[in-house]
Structure formats: C-alpha cells, structure tokens
Amino acid sequence: MLTGPAYRNLAIPQVWARELDQGRYWCSVSTMYRIARAAGQVRERRRVATHPARIRSELLARGPDEVWSWDITALKGPVKGVWYKCYVVLDIFSRYVTGWLVAAAEDAVLAKDFLADAIARNGARPHTIHADRGGAMVSKPVSELLVGLGVLRSHSRPRTSNDNPYSEAQFKTLKYMPDFPDRFGSLADARVFCEGFFLAYNHEHRHSGIGMHTPASVHFGTAEQIHDQRQVVLD
C-alpha cells in the first residue's frame, strides 16, 4: 500500500491519516515506519533538489604579513553602561600585534584610519585581512581602503562564532591577565593598560601556538636562532 501509485510520493503520516479518513486502520504510524525501514524506504520519498555540501574556505599563512586578523572588543568603563572599544589587528602566522587602539566608540572611519596606520607602521601590506561581520568590519570606508591598497578581504561565515579564532584567543589572553581590572577609570587608564599589555605580549609573552617563542621573534625572523640557542642549552 505504501508504495502503491496513490501513496508512493507521500510521507507516511499522510498515508496513515488518509487511510484512517477512509475508515481503514492498518497499523500505527511507527509500525508503518518500521515496515518502510526494513524495505529501505525511509529516505525522502519525494523527488527533491539536492545541494552539495558547502565547503568551508580556509586562509593559510606561510609567513609573516600574509594574513592579518582584526576585531574589536569592549572594555568596561567607570560606570555601568559605559564601554570603551579596543581595536586590535594581529598577524596570524606570528601572532604579532601589528596595531591596536582604544577609543570611546566603534566607528567605521576610525576603523579605516586604524588599519591604514597599522599597515603604514608595519611597512608591508598583508595579502589578506580577515574579520567577522561587525558593522565596522564590513563598512564602506574599510572596504574602500583595502580595495585601494590591493588587500583581499575575508569575513567570517554568518552566525559562526569560531571563524575568527586568533583575535578571540588574543582577547582572552588580554582579559585573563591577573591585573586586568574589572573596570577602567577612564579612557586614558584603558590606553595605559593596553600599551603595557601589548608591548609585553609582542616582546615577552611566550606563545604556545608558535613553539613558545615571542610573537616579535617569529615576526621578525629571530625564532630560528633562538631555537638553536635553546637546543645548545638542552644538549
């Protein structure tokens, strides 16, 4: 009956209900499913369109200044409801923070100037800059800047929280510092704290993701020499 001309394109609950309306009860819906399963008939019974699995694109950095990642995190101000915005861009190969900024608000023009300054200070343009889909990240000023510089833009997939892991991990390192305050007394206080943190992060912090080297060492090419020195001590 399930595979007859009248019902072969219908879902099993549809068949069960239509037979019942005709005064015929054969068995329960679950029994119909059991019978269909034994016959290999529990797949979609209708002809429907199929779509290939969406491939997750990935960025690969083989050296410094190939792929940068940037994001903005919120820092608590002196009172409830007051937040400062910390802009950070880092190289995903070396984890080196190529630029940071603490501002009173998130702003597209400020984001554009921030990225332009980071590129100018670094002295090299990255091949690609990755970010999530925040307002400043997808804004017209930022897009125009990167297009004008010939830098490719990459964005996280919609509603995917783990597509920007390097920036998120760096923010966790910042906020889990023992001396990270619950609130900053002022914008100036936040900038002073971040200045000390990012200086130490780049030049003193041994990063587990890059062989316990400092980001500056990997970024500027001294990591191999330091690795050899370590091996001498171990030997």
Could you count the other beta carbons within 10 Å of the beta carbon of residue 53? Answer: 5
**Going by DSSP bridges, is the β-strand pair 128-131/97-103 parallel, antiparallel, or unpaired?**
unpaired
188 and 115 belong to one structural domain: yes
Assign 164 a pLDDT band (cuts: 50, 70, 90). Answer: confident
36 and 79 belong to one structural domain: no
Query: pLDDT value at position 67?
Result: 96
Into how many domains does the chain fold?
Answer: 2
Q: What is the pLDDT of residues 112-160, one digit of tens each?
A: 999 999 999 999 899 999 999 889 999 999 999 999 999 999 988 877 7
Q: Could you give the CA distance from residue 2 to residue 32 in angstroms, rounded to a whole number?
A: 8
Task: Find the CATH number of the domain harbouring 171.
Answer: 3.30.420.10
26 and 85 belong to one structural domain: no
Q: Are 146 and 138 in contact (CB under 8 A)?
A: no
Which pTM value belongs to this model? 0.75
User: Which residue range is the domain that position 145 belongs to?
Assistant: 67-221
Q: Could you give the CA distance from residue 94 to residue 11 in angstroms, rounded to a whole number?
A: 55
100 and 167 belong to one structural domain: yes
30 and 130 belong to one structural domain: no
Q: Flag whether 227 is in a domain.
A: no
